[in-house]
Amino acid sequence: MHYKVIENVINYDKINKILNFFNDSSHLYENKMYMEKINRPWTYEVVSSLAEDIQDYVDISANIGDNIYKHSYPYYPHLDIDDNYPSVNFLIPLYVENNKRQHFVIFDQYVENTKSKTWLGNIQVEGEFVKNIKDKFIHSDTDVKNLTNLPIDEEFYINYLEHVGRDRDLFFGCSGNAVEFKPGNAIIFDSKYIHCTGKMKADYKIGLSLRFKGTVN
């Protein structure tokens, strides 16, 4: 299995401390693709103090980045992979507006190199991303492995992926799993697998994304 979900990894007191830090630190924000982010959160004590909570589930000896993020628009399918691979994404949902039921999608498709990519379909985004290579469609990308060569399941698309700007053909060739984006849980997965925000049912949500060297145990 290339992913797993651990329930109730951190309690609401620790969640609220991170949320307060995020909300009080707008001077640290990077704004990009409808998203506000604070990068390299492990460098801040309010986040690194989670070590005791998560060390049973991931090797925390080598943190290699990521962010605290807030967004209202679902992000596109992408990879978080670089020369530090093998690596693990450790995602902790922090807040969902009005406690609505949100999901996060992890696909069965992956790459075997260290090219970090975001697939945008026919959406045009000006400029280049700092890390990720912009590409169009997953099914036409020769780096992507385990493609089904079929349209994504229609019911899965409607329930978990559909959004303006994310047409069904963006996900042609894909299959996957939708896991609940529930505050306090941990969503752990191999960084080489494509993933994206689930269909947005809340006005916005906030998450803590960490990456560590290693593999999914």
Beta strands in 40-79 (DSSP E): 63-71
Q: H/E element holding 18?
A: helix 12-23
- pLDDT single digits (tens) 135-174: 899 999 999 999 999 999 999 999 999 999 999 999 999 9
Which amino acid is it at 68?
I
Q: For residue 166, give the DSSP letter.
A: B
Q: What's the rounded mean pLDDT across residues 38-42?
A: 97
Contact status, residue 133 vs residue 117, Cβ threshold 8 Å: yes
Residues 6 or more apart whose CB falls under 8 angstroms from that of 130 comprise: none
Number of domains in the chain: 1
CATH of the domain at 183: 2.60.120
Domain that holds residue 156: 3-213
- The sign of the CA dihedral 44, 46, 52, 54 is negative
Residue 129 — very low, low, confident or very high, per pLDDT cuts 50/70/90?
Answer: low
